[in-house]
Amino acid sequence: MAFQLTPEQEMIRLMARDFAKKELEPFAGKWDREETFPEKAIRKMGGLGLMGMMVPVEYDGAGAGAVSYSLALQEIAYACASTAVTMSVTNLSSDPILKFGSEEHKQRYLAPLARGEMLGAFAVTEPDAGSDPGGMTTRAEEKGDHYLVNGSKIFITNGSYADVIVLITRIGSEKSNRGLSAFLLTKGTPGFRIGRKEDKMGLRASDTVELLFDDCRIPKENLLGKEGIGFKIAMVALDSGRIGIASQSLGIARACLHEAVAYAKTRKQFGKNIGSFQAIQWMIADTAAEIEAAHWLTLYAADKKDQGLPFTREASMAKLFASEMANRAAYRAVQIHGGYGYMKEYKVERLYRDARVTTIYEGTSEVQRLVIAREVLEE
């Protein structure tokens, strides 16, 4: 058992930290206020290999593995949680192409995604199908050399910027999860358009939109894998995705701790720094301990993935614990700032809003508990 990062992992972490400090942190507050999608910075991240970290070198990825990916994503999220979700979702869309795509799919989509020339998205959620994708009604119908897709998706991260979207739809009359299939949908496909842009509580510099399909014509060769395995593709991708959201949560929590400590050392009440009060110290201690626990749980899940071992249970545990921990960390950071923490002028106000969604997307905390309980009960 080694609790030490390899020199390569350490180097990747430092590279991501350096980039985030210079290119993200100084602008994250402005991007949030103005709802600016940081396209330029994201392209630069592509150039550094951050958008294809788990993609093998033969497809132009960094081939760095899930542990390095988690470390880098934590650094990006520390500086800008919106940019972190953009990075995480692009990695989420690469994963199913790598695992289920044809060689042509890999050359045409995976390699440009890994090089940062393309941006990816992953579309499952519909107005009436969130935690239960089996309830989705967006449907693809086979018509000769293509499929015609009708329906809509909501809350899709990167939706308006994505060059390629992993789209899960229903095919045929099968009503259960077995009736779902996955497609690679590209920008500009006839019958596909972007709908409403969401006005969100947090992650305001990330892109979250509705996707609309009206006789959308997807070529047959863009079916991912084969018909009927869409649910499996989504679940496999989400296992990796959950390591990403756990890492994003960790980055946000670390930023909360940093802000809380800095404030506790300077704010004076009753003639003393508030950091000298035990009540404040306990909040800081709890956050520091919980960050450490979430960090190792997340890297444990990532290490299992790197070793080719099953990691569904560990990824769900990491996502559940880290996301709830980030919300506690954000709550305490605002509390330590008192009234100032409620003001937009202070960074913790943004961190509090950004943390909130981590217990919701890529499977709510309740869904993570279902996954974990099923795995534990089956043991």
Ligand X SMILES: Cc1cc2nc3c(=O)[nH]c(=O)nc-3n(C[C@H](O)[C@H](O)[C@H](O)COP(=O)(O)OP(=O)(O)OC[C@H]3O[C@@H](n4cnc5c(N)ncnc54)[C@H](O)[C@@H]3O)c2cc1C
Q: Which residues bind ligand X (CB under 6 A)?
A: 89, 122-125, 130-131, 155-157, 200, 203, 208, 357, 360-364, 366-367
> Which one of 227, 362, 375, 379 is the catalytic residue?
362
One-letter amino acid identity for 287?
A: T
Q: Is 378 one of the annotated active-site residues of the chain?
A: no
Rounded to a whole number of angstroms, the minimum distance from the CB of residue 236 to ligand X is 15
* Among the listed residues 328, 337, 331, 340, the one whose alpha carbon sits nearest the alpha carbon of residue 365: 328
Rounded to a whole number of angstroms, the minimum distance from the CB of residue 237 to ligand X is 10
User: Cα torsion for 289, 292, 295, 299, to the nearest 10°?
Assistant: -130
Rounded to a whole number of angstroms, the minimum distance from the CB of residue 357 to ligand X is 5
Upper half-sphere CA count for residue 78 (Cβ side, 13 Å): 23
Task: Please identify, using beta-carbon distances, which residue of 280 and 367 lies nearer to ligand X.
Answer: 367
- List helix spans (H) across 307-364: 312-337, 347-356
Rounded to a whole number of angstroms, the minimum distance from the CB of residue 182 to ligand X is 12
User: Cα torsion for 192, 166, 94, 15, to the nearest 10°?
Assistant: 60
Task: Please identify, using beta-carbon distances, which residue of 97 and 264 lies nearer to ligand X.
Answer: 97
Where on the phi/psi map is residue 116: left (φ > 0), alpha (ψ -120 to 50), or beta?
Answer: left
Task: Please identify, using beta-carbon distances, which residue of 125 and 177 lies nearer to ligand X.
Answer: 125
Contacts of 235 (CB under 8 A, 6+ apart): none
Task: Please identify, using beta-carbon distances, which residue of 97 and 367 lies nearer to ligand X.
Answer: 367
Contacts of 108 (CB under 8 A, 6+ apart): none
Q: Which residue numbers are catalytic?
A: 362
